[in-house]
Structure 1
Amino acid sequence: MFDSNISAFPLHRRRKLVEGIARILESKNGEDANAFWRNTAKQILVQLSESGISPRLAEQEVGTLLHAVLSNIAIRSASTLA
């Protein structure tokens, strides 16, 4: 199998996606949060794969998305404390 030349609009730039995942993660703790993220990541990986995105690129996209989600949570937490 070969890598595809298809690229997706970066997931970490999809504001509604990032904010939606962040809100849900904020409402969960411990294993519930981990399970939600793992399930979400798997679903996104499947969607990207079905769209023709290479596995390597799909994994990078999901990793970058996670960083954006965590950053969004941190920014909102900081603004709440201010």
Structure 2
Amino acid sequence: MSTVKKSARILETKNGEDANAFWRSTAKRILVQLFESGIAPGLAEQEVGTLLHAVLGDIAARSAATRATNDC
């Protein structure tokens, strides 16, 4: 399972501060991995931002699909 899908599924089970804490921990872990790989800090932060948008997009798409299925 991809990082996007895995993170999205975990975030869907959390609310409020639990969701925030999960995302901060995930972002920090990924940033550290990117820094250790030699990625420049600014680029690493952009990558984590891109990941967040992908995760939120995945959640939104799954939510829309669920609503569409339930409306039938």
For residue 32 of structure 1, report the CA deviation from its aligned partner. Answer: 0.0
- Post-superposition shift, 1:51? 0.3
Q: How many residues align?
A: 68
Higher helix proportion (structure 1 or 2): 2
Q: Cα deviation per residue 1:14-44 (whole Å; 9 max; x = unaligned)?
A: x711000000000000000000000000000
User: What is the percent sequence identity of the aligned residues?
Assistant: 75
Q: Residue 71 of structure 1 is aligned with which of 54, 57, 62?
A: 57
1:17 maps onto 2:3 in alignment? yes
- Aligned-residue offset at 1:60: 0.1
Q: Which letter maps to 1:27?
A: T
Q: Choose from 44, 50, 70 the match for 2:36.
A: 50
Residue 59 (structure 1) aligns with? 45
Q: Which of structure 1's runs of 4+ aligned residues deviate more than 4 A?
A: none
Give the superposition deviation at 1:75.
0.1
Gaps of 5+ in 1: 1-14
Say if 2:26 is the partner of 1:40: yes
How far apart, in 2, do the equivalents of 1:41 and 1:17 lie?
Answer: 11
Gaps of 5+ in 2: none
Normalized against structure 2, the TM-score is what? 0.93
Q: Quick one: distance in 1 between partners of 2:24 and 2:56?
A: 14
